[in-house]
Amino acid sequence: MSEHIVSPKIYLVIFLTLMAGTAITVWAAFQNFGKFNIVIALAIATFKATLVVLYFMHARYSPKRTQLVIVCSVFWLAIMLALTLSDYQTREHTVSHLAPPAIFNLVRT
């Protein structure tokens, strides 16, 4: 069989990188980067997710048609996020101008 076998050494290096990523995420959350806190958190998470997909899930060594399906999932997700968020961004009445959802008004505080 011609399948690619990823060596334990690569798995270990990926694991250690993921651990370092987790540590940096926690550290960065306690620093005040203003608006960039969320950007940094998402950038690290996306970097970690990419490593998992490429190595743990063998995407790097998969046939092109499998890789195409993976890229498509990111593409569909981007469409959903971009179109919905642009809709919310360009409306006069955003969610924050609404009263609390009616169901929560029944709640005693």
Partner 1 sequence: MHRTGELYGHFETLEQQKESAALGMWIFLVTEVLFFGGLFLTYTINRHAFNTAFGAGSNTLDIVLGGGNTVVLILSSLTMAMAVWSAQVGKKQLVSIFLISTLALGTVFLGVKVIEYKQKFDHHLIPGSAFDIRYRSKHPTAADKPEEIATEKEELEKAFAKDPDLNAHAQLYFSLYFGMTGLHALHMIIGAGLLVWLIKGSFAGRYTPQYNTPVEIVGLYWHFVDIVWIYLFPLLYLIDRHR
SS3 state at 74: helix
Among candidates 17, 39, 19, which has minimal Cα distance to 28?
39
| Region label for 93, one of left (φ > 0), alpha (ψ between -120 and 50) or beta (otherwise) | beta
Q: Does 39 bind partner 1 (CB under 8 A)?
A: no
Q: Does 108 bind partner 1 (CB under 8 A)?
A: yes
CA dihedral sign of residues 80, 81, 86, 89: positive
Q: Does 31 bind partner 1 (CB under 8 A)?
A: yes
Binding map of partner 1 across residues 43-82, x = CB under 8 A, - = no contact: -xx--xx--xx-xxxx---xx-xx--xx-xxx-xx--xx-
Q: How many other CB atoms sit within 10 Å of the CB of residue 55?
A: 19
Q: Does 13 bind partner 1 (CB under 8 A)?
A: no
Among candidates 10, 99, 4, 82, which has minimal Cα distance to 51?
10
Q: Does 86 bind partner 1 (CB under 8 A)?
A: no
Q: Does 20 bind partner 1 (CB under 8 A)?
A: no
Q: Given the rule CB under 8 A, which residues bind partner 1?
A: 1-3, 5-8, 11-12, 14-15, 18-19, 22, 25-26, 29-33, 37, 41-42, 44-45, 48-49, 52-53, 55-58, 62-63, 65-66, 69-70, 72-74, 76-77, 80-81, 84-85, 88, 94-96, 100-101, 104-109
